[in-house]
Amino acid sequence: MNLKKYISSFVLLVSLVSFSQEKWTLDECVAYAIEHNLQVKNTAFNNDSSKESYRQSIRDLLPSVSGYTDYTIRYGRSADPQTNDFVNTDFFSNNYSLGANLDLFRGFQKLNTIKATKFIYKATQEDVMQQKFLLAFRVMRAFYDIQFYEGLVANSLEQLEISQGNFDLVQKQVELGIMAGADLYEAESNLLGDKLLVTQNKNLLANAKLILMQEMNLTDVDTIEIQEILEEVVPEQNEKVTLDSIYQTARNFVPLVKSQEYRVTAAKKQLHATRGSLFPSLSLVAGYGTSYFETNVDENGNVIPFKTQFNDNTSKFVGAQLNIPISNGWSAHSRAKQQKIAYMQAKNNLEIQEQELFKLIQQLVQDNQAILAEYDQSTQKVKAQQLAFTIAQKRYEKGLINALELFQAKNLYGIAQNENLQAALKLKVNQRTIDFYSGLPIFNIN
């Protein structure tokens, strides 16, 4: 019997441990979402592509080398490639060549292109980080929504327990003849209304969990359990926030702004590269070539061997090429003007991002003060409604008020609890968002 108890206790302990391990923290939800989110992966692919473009722009500094060969059979009357005389003999020939081209000067186009692609690569790195932060905020909101609806379920269960107690009390008093049957119907109606409210809140909770699982791309489970501990809100810490200090900090690290900064610099370098096409270009060229002809014969009429012709027909050259653009339909100037417009547009987009960031932080700071007041007032309201309901409950038990009056007091108390819970979670989300823009590591994101 002791062995059975031991086994049962062990199984229960294991089940409790496994159950506790299934509870997700906010950091765990964010980490899982980032690892499995397809949009983040797609942005990472763009980053890989820009990285390869940057590497290729560096490799473009290397000389370009190309080889050429052919095998040609001529029929009927044709010119002998060796003597340029016309012959009526079928014959074949081979040509081989190897050439190299090295740019010495091209208006610094390649160097500016390297710089431009490097800044684009940095911009896409910030794009990846921006996607991670956006996803983290969505996960955080979904996480706190679950806590909110869990609180609603808890509050409605508390209201249900009170209604059940009142129903049981009225039922006993009706049986004793102290109260009328109509009072029992009212108590039953309140009880059924609270049961419906519990069901509705549970449905809202299930939907909130579904939203979090969708944000996390969590597909191998039917539901999710999160840690139920709600950190205490400390209003005094939030009163110290200032708009300017937060904006200056956020301006220096928010990925969306940094990404646009890099794109402005990249557009400027690309403008310089485009203008480089207006200048002359100088390149060094070199080549090596040889050939073999079936019509190339010696004094005895024998075809000279391939190896001998390959060595005898060798030609080499080295030189420099200067290309001076004179007129190309003004297309180079047009491209330069278009790139200048793109540069100005990138600068304007940066100002837009800075403006949007300032507005966002401005709204956060203003909301912080408003939610602080709302949270403080709702906390006081909960205390007042709790006291009012306690008094109403005692008066109802003594028959001094009817069930409708008790039901109204209970509902007001429940509404006050829900409002306080909502204000607390709104303040928590707002506080963590302000902490993020203040440079604090609220998300464990690499």
- Domain presence at residue 43: yes
- Residue 396: give the domain boundaries: 16-61+108-278+297-437
pLDDT given at position 376: 92
pLDDT given at position 238: 46
pLDDT tens-digit series, residues 320-362? 998 888 877 788 889 899 999 999 999 999 999 999 999 999 9
- Domain presence at residue 283: no
pLDDT given at position 75: 79
**Angle CA(109)–CA(113)–CA(118) in degrees, nearest 5?**
155
pLDDT bracket for residue 200 (50, 70, 90): very high
Distance of CA 212 to the CA centre of its chain: 16
pLDDT given at position 446: 64
Domain with residue 337: its CATH number is: 1.20.1600.10
User: DSSP secondary-structure letter at 179?
Assistant: S
**C-alpha count within 13 angstroms, C-beta hemisphere, residue 266:** 20
pLDDT bracket for residue 15 (50, 70, 90): very low
**C-alpha count within 13 angstroms, C-beta hemisphere, residue 405:** 13
Query: What is the C-alpha separation between 231 and 229, in angstroms, rounded?
Result: 6
The first and second tokens of residue 24, run together, are: 């997700």
The pairing of beta strand 86-87 with beta strand 23-24: unpaired
User: DSSP secondary-structure letter at 220?
Assistant: S
The pairing of beta strand 78-79 with beta strand 64-74: unpaired
**Beta bridge partners of residue 93, listed in sequence order:** 72, 293
- Domain presence at residue 129: yes
- Domain presence at residue 401: yes
Query: What is the C-alpha separation between 226 and 31, in angstroms, rounded?
Result: 14
Percentage of the chain modeled with pLDDT above 90: 48
- Domain presence at residue 392: yes
- Domain presence at residue 242: yes
Is 435 exposed, middle or buried, given 0-12, 13-18 or 19+ CB atoms closer than 10 A? middle
The mean pLDDT of the chain is 85
User: DSSP secondary-structure letter at 400?
Assistant: S
For residue 289, report the phi and psi dihedrals to the nearest 5 degrees: -145, 155
- Give 407 or 23, the one with higher predicted confidence: 23
pLDDT tens-digit series, residues 246-274? 999 999 999 999 999 999 999 999 999 99
Name the residue with tokens 């899982």. Answer: 32
Lowest mean pLDDT among 10-14, 109-113, 167-171, 370-374: 10-14
Q: How many domains does the chain have?
A: 1
Rounded mean pLDDT, 237-248: 72
User: DSSP secondary-structure letter at 106?
Assistant: S
Query: What is the C-alpha separation between 148 and 59, in angstroms, rounded?
Result: 56
434 touches 365 (CB < 8 A): yes
- Domain presence at residue 99: no
pLDDT given at position 170: 72
Lowest mean pLDDT among 245-249, 406-410, 435-439: 406-410
- Domain presence at residue 3: no
Q: How far is CA 440 from CA 232, 237, 400, 432, 435, in A?
A: 18, 14, 56, 9, 5
Query: What is the C-alpha separation between 19 and 160, in angstroms, rounded?
Result: 27
Query: Which residues of 295-360 form beta strands (DSSP E)?
Result: 315-323
Query: What is the C-alpha separation between 162 and 390, in angstroms, rounded?
Result: 11
pLDDT given at position 178: 67
